[in-house]
Amino acid sequence: MDFLNLAKDRYSCRMLDPRPVEQEKIDRIIEAALCAPTAVNKQPFRVFVLQSPEALAKAGEAFPFDFVRKAPALIVIGAKEDEAWVRKFDSRNFADVDATIVATHVMLAIHDLGLVSTWIGNFDPTVMKAAFPVMEGLDLIALFPVAYPAQDAAPGAKHTVSRECGELICRL
């Protein structure tokens, strides 16, 4: 699939099939994360792949969504501020930007592999860090349930709705 079609076709899917996802596909998602560009190639991010029933159950305490608990895998992206490039002009730390680029690669790779997900930002990072102490010291950016789509999965009604180009794009 070419990139523009991939970007248009991807949607936030909340109807997940709980069957396992092949390890090869999880590995390809991780490969996509690792090739994401970061400022000055500092790579101030961490990716956590939760697949064991115990890890998924612990993570399930951090968010209010039942549909996520059906996913056979969960990918968590975190930013490590003390490893990031800092813009000298205003001391802007780019850890969150870099981790967001990684998260976008993950999100698109999931779809490219015939899997579904949704970008989960509504979660309690304190609960995640308590459950997984290895995440301490990170700014947790996003969680991605990774699954096959349920048989009746489809894009939401607003999937193709967009504001006018002139409202969002300014050509100077």
Gyration radius (Cα) of the chain, Å:
17
pLDDT of 1 higher than 80 = no
Helix, coil or strand: residue 88: coil
Distances in whole angstroms, Cα of residue 63 to Cα of each of 47, 97, 108, 143, 172: 18, 23, 22, 10, 42
DSSP H or E run through 95: helix 95-112
pLDDT in tens, 74-106: 999 999 999 999 999 999 999 999 999 999 999
Average pLDDT of span 52-66: 95
pLDDT in tens, 14-39: 999 999 999 999 999 999 999 999 99
Indicate the pTM of the whole model: 0.95
Domain 3-150, CATH number (from 3.90.1150.10, 3.40.50.720, 3.40.109.10, 3.30.420.40): 3.40.109.10
pLDDT in tens, 125-136: 999 999 999 999
Q: Which residue ranges make up each domain of the chain?
A: 3-150
Average pLDDT taken over every residue of the chain: 96
DSSP strand pairing (45-50 vs 73-79): antiparallel
Average pLDDT of span 157-163: 90
User: pLDDT value at position 10?
Assistant: 95
Distances in whole angstroms, Cα of residue 136 to Cα of each of 80, 129, 140: 10, 5, 9
